[in-house]
Amino acid sequence: MMPAVHGSVEVSPMSNSSPTAPIDRLPRPQELVDSRLVRLSLAVVVAPLRFLAFWAAVALPFLYLPLLVGGLDGQQTTAFVALLLANVVALLLGHEYGRAG
């Protein structure tokens, strides 16, 4: 059977090919590689950072005890405030650790 010709467009009576998206809607191969690479890179960097931050937030309060028992004066106050700030940063960075999704 010969394909039918309508105007200047050739129309085949049957086609085994699956429907495809218009070419302008498809992402470029470089965009796919870039976005996947970025997501993978972020996952590789962010997951260990969250892990370390979470456990640092758990462990840092134990370092407060010797400072508080010995009293806070001079450099010990500075060390206590630095530990407190480090704990806040660790809490912020590690709060998503272990959550599904």
Cβ 79 vs Cβ 67: under 8 Å: yes
> Residue 10 is inside which H or E element, if any?
strand 9-11
* 94 closest CA partner among 64, 61, 42, 56: 56
Integer Rg of the chain from CA: 30
Bigger pLDDT: 47 or 12? Answer: 47
Q: How confident is the model at residue 57 (pLDDT cuts 50, 70, 90)?
A: very high
Q: What is the pLDDT of residues 71-94, one digit of tens each?
A: 888 888 998 999 999 999 999 999
Residue 12's pLDDT is: 57
Tell how far CA 45 is from the center of its chain: 8
Q: Using alpha carbons, list the distances in angstroms from residue 51 to 33, 58, 81.
A: 27, 11, 23
Hey, what amino acid is at 3?
P
User: pTM of the entire structure?
Assistant: 0.58
